[in-house]
Amino acid sequence: MTLLITPKDALIIVDMQVDFLPGGTLPVENGDHIIPPINALTQRLPFSTIIATQDWHPHDHVSFEASGGPWPPHCIAGTPGANLSPDLDQTRINCLIRKGLERGRDSYSAFVDNDQVTETGLTGFLRGLKTERLFFCGLAYDFCVSHTALDARWLGFESYVIDDATRAISSDSYPTRHRLTQAGVHLTRSRDLITLPD
């Protein structure tokens, strides 16, 4: 099913950072393969709101193995690994949201920390622009992309994950896909997003 994208729609590019790409400290397999489709989305479609998120952790963050967490150190604030990929076209990105800044709390969602209390401000930003539909892409499908899309749905936004513009850490995406569709998050593909010729 094709979807006509208008300037009222927003694109949210999740965590396209050096550490999550091949060669980084927490690389998502083939994460670099989604850079051309994401660039095509921002270049081809008339979104007026394009948000990029960044995981942005202190060096002793609770999610790191040295602190008893599940992950190798990644996206340490201000380091090159926390930068957005140099291959990502940032020309039309008008908002950057950073998350996971507090040592003792992680944040998979770009809306609210894992404590479900601390907000990033993204909700107010989008509501202020009267945005209704949100389209999600980036890394990683089974963590930050899905948590962000689920929160968006819960907050009342119509939410779409762009399947060919995301990649998962786990090789089995079925549980993530199931959780998303059960919650009413739609799955779509780049080629189904269209615009009117001008």
Q: Which residues bind ligand VGL (CB under 6 A)?
A: 15, 55, 63, 71, 139-140, 143-144
**99 noted as active-site residue:** yes
Beta carbon of residue 71, minimum distance to ligand VGL (angstroms, whole number): 5
For 129-160, b/e burial (b = at least 16 CB within 10 A) is eebebbbbbbbbbbbbbbbbbbbbbeeebebb
Residue 81: CB atoms within 10 Å: 19
Q: Which of 9, 19, 55, 151 binds Zn ion (CB under 5 A)?
A: 55
Identity of the residue, 10 or 140, whose beta carbon is nearer to ligand VGL in the bound complex: 140
CA 82, 88, 89, 95 dihedral sign is: negative
Total chain residues near Zn ion (CB under 5 A): 1
Tokens of 63: 């999610």
139 binds, among ligand VGL, Zn ion, none (CB under 5 to 8 A by kind): ligand VGL
**144 noted as active-site residue:** yes
Beta carbon of residue 24, minimum distance to Zn ion (angstroms, whole number): 12
Which one from 15, 19, 55, 106 is the annotated catalytic residue? 15
Beta carbon of residue 20, minimum distance to ligand VGL (angstroms, whole number): 6
Closest by alpha carbon to 170, among 28, 73, 72, 19? 28
Burial category of 73 from C-beta neighbours within 10 Å (exposed 0-12, middle 13-18, buried 19 and up): buried
Which one from 99, 106, 142, 151 is the annotated catalytic residue? 99
